[in-house]
Amino acid sequence: MARASTTLVDQLVTTMNSLEKTRSKMETLLSAGSIVRRDIEQVYSGLFMKGITSFEYVIEALFVGLLVKQFDPTSKIVTRVTFDSHSVARDVVFGGRNYVDWFPYQHTEKRASAFFRAGKPFTHLSKPDKKILDNLLYIRNAIAHPSSYARRKFEQEVVGALPLTGVERSPAGFLRSPFRVMPYQTRYENAASEMVSLARKLCS
């Protein structure tokens, strides 16, 4: 029986809330002197990678779910083809591979144009939305692939001219740095909020 695609957002929110509890707990331990800055930076890197992986899963689950009529599509979403099973749909969408790249997001848009009329809902993100996705990818790459190229793209595209300290110019330091003061929010917390917001737009 088909269900609302917003259930994927609910799952993502649950994951993000769990990650936030871990973040808050580790900050408390740092304040108490139980861990050191290197520890907390590793935590932020891990939390971000778990968060963006969970967001990527939303895209994949929505894509395949719509093709097998697992979710109720809105009137704006028209599939070019449907499948009777997830395994068959995944085989076709993945082209026989074990996984596909959903980022950079242009990959998702191109793939969507082949399976959905006008590529919707995957092509209706705004230009600012796509810029957010690009920045999330630069951060992810700088953490997962600490090559000179990934680090340079992170510094150029994400850090840029932001008034950050030397510590805050690393991927983990950047995520832990303040995004705003009132109410206080780290850039990691803002990134998590952005991922949930983008997931809502895709699943609405």
Instruction: Using DSSP, state whether 67 is helix, strand or coil.
Output: helix
Q: What sign has the CA pseudo-torsion 13, 17, 23, 24? A: positive
C-alpha span between 39 and 169 (Å, rounded): 17
C-alpha span between 49 and 56 (Å, rounded): 10
| Residue 97 identity | R
C-alpha span between 48 and 171 (Å, rounded): 10
**Residue 62 is encoded by which pair of tokens?**
């929505």
Task: From first to last of the 204 residues of the chain, give the pLDDT tens digit.
Answer: 678 999 999 999 999 999 999 999 999 999 999 999 999 999 999 999 999 999 999 999 999 999 999 998 666 899 999 999 999 999 999 988 888 999 999 999 999 999 999 999 999 999 999 999 999 999 999 999 879 999 999 999 999 999 999 999 999 999 999 999 999 999 999 999 999 999 999 998
What Å distances lie between residue 145 and 126, 171, 173, CA to CA? 28, 11, 16
User: Which pLDDT value is given to residue 75?
Assistant: 63
Asked if 188 and 175 count as a contact pair (C-beta separation under 8 A), the reply is yes
User: Which pLDDT value is given to residue 74?
Assistant: 65
Instruction: Using DSSP, state whether 115 is helix, strand or coil.
Output: helix
Angle at 120 between CA 117 and CA 125, to 5 degrees: 150
Longest dimension (CA), the chain: 57
Q: What is the pTM of this model?
A: 0.94
- 82 C-beta neighbours (distance < 10 Å), count: 11
Asked if 133 and 125 count as a contact pair (C-beta separation under 8 A), the reply is yes
- 79: which strand partners? 116
